[in-house]
Amino acid sequence: GENVEQHPSTLSVQEGDSAVIKCTYSDSASNYFPWYKQELGKGPQLIIDIRSNVGEKKDQRIAVTLNKTAKHFSLHITETQPEDSAVYFCAASGLSGAGSYQLTFGKGTKLSVIP
Amino acid sequence: EAGVTQSPTHLIKTRGQQATLRCSPISGHTSVYWYQQALGLGLQFLLWYDEGEERNRGNFPPRFSGRQFPNYSSELNVNALELEDSALYLCASSLVKFSGNTIYFGEGSWLTVV
């Protein structure tokens, strides 16, 4: 099955700086890569996603890049703000043991934006 | 449109008891997923239901079980509760069950076992 590695586990940045979170995946057949943001005490919220036929996608201050050859994808947050502080999870959609596609999550990155 | 809703928000049980958690997916979604998130840890996959059938199961003991109803809502049952079952239980739903399925999470149910 799919295996997703996420780095770093914790990240502290000054307000206004950029933050980058990286993930690698193992299943070359994976074709969908979402990112979730989880604020304290809440469920994860989808913030951006990318499909394997696209190399980069942007949404205001957030961007995701995908390198299919190297099997890694990254989340970029520019001009960070205190409200960006949260845990971020990457995921990859690969074949599960049941023979269907299923999301496999990374272990998460705790981002702290220091005012 | 309502998102994924879960109940109860909080639940306190005694070791050895049973807990039942409920989930209503987004309208039109047929797949429901359950995840366990222990304090400070990642998302551990529990169960996946689609159109009333269990499609996949994570690495959890059989005392974790569930079902999906004809209206696609779902419940998660945890029998013989242990202290380490204390966690946030997240339900998610999706429309497309094959590759590229975006899943949407509820706010979770906090289970505390004492």
Distance CA A89, CA B5 (A): 21
pLDDT in tens, B87-104: 999 999 998 655 567 899
pLDDT in tens, B59-77: 999 999 999 999 999 999 9
Q: Cα–Cα–Cα angle for A52, A55, A58, nearest 5°?
A: 110
A vs B: CB pairs below 8 A:
58
Given this model, what pLDDT does residue A113 score?
98
pLDDT surpassing 60 at residue A6 = yes
Q: Does B67 touch chain A (CB under 8 A)?
A: no
pLDDT band at A98 (very low <50, low <70, confident <90, very high): low
Higher pLDDT, A30 or A48: A48
Find the mean pLDDT for residues A70-85.
97
CB B68 within 8 A of CB B52: yes
* Contact criterion met (CB < 8 Å) for B98 and A101: yes
Best probe of the A interface among B21, B33, B103, by most A CBs < 10 A, is B103
pLDDT in tens, A50-76: 988 889 999 999 999 999 999 999 999
Comparing CA positions, the residue from B24, B54, B106 lying closest to residue A100 is: B54
Best probe of the B interface among A39, A102, A105, by most B CBs < 10 A, is A102
Given this model, what pLDDT does residue A1 score?
77
